[in-house]
Amino acid sequence: MVSSYSEGARKKTMFTDKKDIQVTEPDVVLIGAGIMSATLGIMLKQLQPNLTIEIYERLGEVAAESSDAWNNAGTGHSAFCELNYTPQKPDGSVDITKADVIAEWFEQSRQFWAFLVKSGIIKSPPKDFINSVPHMSFVWGQDNVNFLRTRYEAMITSPLFQGMQYSEDPQQLAQWMPLIMAGRAQDEKVAATKMDAGTDVNFGCLTRFMFKELQAMEGVTLYLNHEVRKLRQKDTESDKRWRIRVKDINTDEKKRVRAKFVFIGAGGGSLPLLLASGIPEADGFGGFPVSGQWLKCTNPEVIAMHSAKVYGKASVGSPPMSVPHLDTRMINGKRALLFGPYAGFTTKFLKKGSFFDLPFSIKVNNLRPMLAAGYTNIPLTKYLIGQVMQSPEDRVAALREYVPTARPEDWELEMAGQRVQVIKKDKDKGGVLEFGTEVVASADGSIAALLGASPGASTAVSIMVDLIQRCFPVQAKSPEWQAKFKEMIPSLGISLSDDPQLCQEMRAYTAEVLQLKEGQLVQR
């Protein structure tokens, strides 16, 4: 655990060592300027305002990788429409356990964002980063229709999915999603669910708003174009701080940082830094990169015909980030319509990374898990190869399964983000490929890293609360921190799936503060 700051946080100091290299001593270092670091930074400054924080980002702007609107699905993963969160059991029933958990986490995110708006930490109108857009699941074929009906019947038993609608009526579906139903065969078996409580979240915008306020706080410094090269722990009885070497990419100037706590939230770049830390908890971890592309609609008339996030069923062997969806978005102040993403493979861990990222991540202690995970995921490999080999005609053919009237001239290809799926040791299989997010922390809580992809940004708030409780256990249990946690996230510690009234109250409260109009996209 991180030692207590009860006597007051160490003031940030700056000096030069014998080699005339600048040395700073903040309390906390955040590596990566994305949604995770922004969320953690804001939380820590709310919990203890006198903490000093330094943030290092290798690019020239914040939120330019996984948090960027074009690189992030932006669904606000609330499990309303993502079918991969509700697997079908061998007996035909549907397990909604994971969907319940993710929906609960997203409600906590909404509460935290409402706190930021209500307290004036975010000064921009909420519609600049969050808008109401219905979430729908859409399937065709009798077997899939039966699955969706069973899923719906299971989900409406949970308070978190109250208000969900279900229909197999083509006329009703044509009202919900006219673009998808236009030109479809009359005798085709189709079904859909609809949740008007769904949202579109521009995580790039949200991240920039948070960093703007973080930079204005006393004791916080953001360094852009700075790359962390090395990090190691002093590990003496009196000093367990982390020694970090940083390089200014523009000037080649080097500096050294000494910090009590380090968070690695660098997206796909987190794994190499975690492995470089040398902590035992990192042994056996590897990464499998998956890239993506969108088809972006360029015809305003087509864009205006669709106002929903419509998710379908994933192809066999495909990763969760590749679940096909026709997605209404608000990006850079304009309404957009995307379809995809189409998956691909590259050895880069970041969109602006190096082709050597994957080879250099292979170490002696993770070679076996990575080989084992590769061997047991041959269908995924075949799927990705097929995606890479797709022609423009193949992509349009996939689009027409959702938009039968789609014309190639109305759509253009746009690069999506890069994701690194987690590979970890498994005593039975040697290694397994995970598709979720995972926090890896040292035994003493002095360093933590976030690995993985989906659901990622949407659940950043609960992920960071869990991280704080693990790495700052003494402070997290104090009355002062407990009170602040409840102020930021009123339902924290209470299961909304077990308390229908509180679930309804919290959803209504956050909708009011965030100015959400369920089922209606807020226009500018």
Residues 6+ apart with CB under 8 A from 340: 292, 293, 294, 295, 324, 325, 416
- Rounding to the nearest 10 degrees, give the CA dihedral for residues 187, 139, 326, 78: 150
Read off φ and ψ for residue 363, nearest 5 degrees.
-125, 170
- Rounding to the nearest 10 degrees, give the CA dihedral for residues 460, 466, 472, 478: 110
Read off φ and ψ for residue 81, nearest 5 degrees.
-130, -10
| Paired tokens of 78 | 């609330």
* Residue 519 clears pLDDT 50, i.e. is over it: no
Q: What is the pLDDT of residues 375-397, one digit of tens each?
A: 566 566 666 666 666 778 888 99
User: How many other C-beta atoms lie within 10 A of the C-beta of residue 367?
Assistant: 13
Q: What is the mean pLDDT of residues 251-263?
A: 95
Higher pLDDT, 315 or 102: 102
Candidates 42, 136, 148; CA nearest to 324 is 136
One-letter identity of residue 313: K
Q: What is the mean pLDDT of residues 17-38?
A: 88
- Rounding to the nearest 10 degrees, give the CA dihedral for residues 256, 257, 258, 262: -140
User: How many other C-beta atoms lie within 10 A of the C-beta of residue 71?
Assistant: 25
| 3-state percent breakdown (helix, strand, coil) of the chain, nearest 5 | 35, 25, 40
Burial of 217: CB neighbours in 10 Å, binned 0-12, 13-18, 19+: middle
Q: Are 40 and 263 in contact (CB under 8 A)?
A: yes
Would you state the pLDDT for residue 320?
53
Least confident of 20-34, 80-94, 231-245: 231-245
One-letter identity of residue 86: T
Give the pLDDT band (50/70/90) at residue 3: very low
Higher pLDDT, 522 or 180: 180
* Residue 10 clears pLDDT 50, i.e. is over it: no
What percent of the chain is modeled with pLDDT above 90? Answer: 62
Distance of CA 322 to the CA centre of its chain: 14
Would you state the pLDDT for residue 451?
86
Q: What is the pLDDT of residues 189-203, one digit of tens each?
A: 999 999 999 999 999
Q: Reading across the β-sheet that carries 226-233, which strands appear in turn?
A: 14-16, 22-24, 254-259, 242-248, 226-233
Would you state the pLDDT for residue 7?
38
- Rounding to the nearest 10 degrees, give the CA dihedral for residues 517, 70, 125, 40: 110
Least confident of 42-56, 477-491, 510-524: 510-524
How many Cα neighbours within 13 Å face the side chain of 480? 9
488 vs 393: CA distance, rounded Å: 49
Q: What is the mean pLDDT of residues 472-489?
A: 97
Pairing verdict, β 22-24 and 254-259: parallel
170 vs 129: CA distance, rounded Å: 33
Q: Are 49 and 278 in contact (CB under 8 A)?
A: no
Higher pLDDT, 107 or 357: 107
Q: What is the mean pLDDT of residues 149-155?
A: 98
Q: What is the mean pLDDT of residues 306-325?
A: 75
Higher pLDDT, 286 or 360: 286
How many Cα neighbours within 13 Å face the side chain of 379? 6
DSSP state of 94: B
pTM for the complete prediction?
A: 0.88
- Computed over every residue of the chain, the mean pLDDT equals 86
Would you state the pLDDT for residue 89?
94
- The dihedral built from the CA positions of residue 236, 53, 119 and 462, taken in this order, carries a sign that is negative
Would you state the pLDDT for residue 232?
92
* Residue 363 clears pLDDT 90, i.e. is over it: no
Would you state the pLDDT for residue 447?
96
Q: Are 343 and 321 in contact (CB under 8 A)?
A: yes
User: Which CA distances in Å does 76 have to 300, 423, 456, 459?
Assistant: 24, 25, 10, 8
Q: What is the pLDDT of residues 399-446, one digit of tens each?
A: 999 999 999 999 998 877 666 776 777 777 777 667 678 889 999 999
Q: What is the mean pLDDT of residues 215-237?
A: 92
Would you state the pLDDT for residue 11?
47
* Residue 182 clears pLDDT 90, i.e. is over it: yes
Candidates 447, 40, 435, 377; CA nearest to 211 is 40
Candidates 82, 73, 81, 71; CA nearest to 327 is 73
Q: What is the pLDDT of residues 324-340, one digit of tens each?
A: 889 999 887 889 999 98
Would you state the pLDDT for residue 333?
81
* Residue 225 clears pLDDT 90, i.e. is over it: yes
User: How many other C-beta atoms lie within 10 A of the C-beta of residue 427?
Assistant: 5
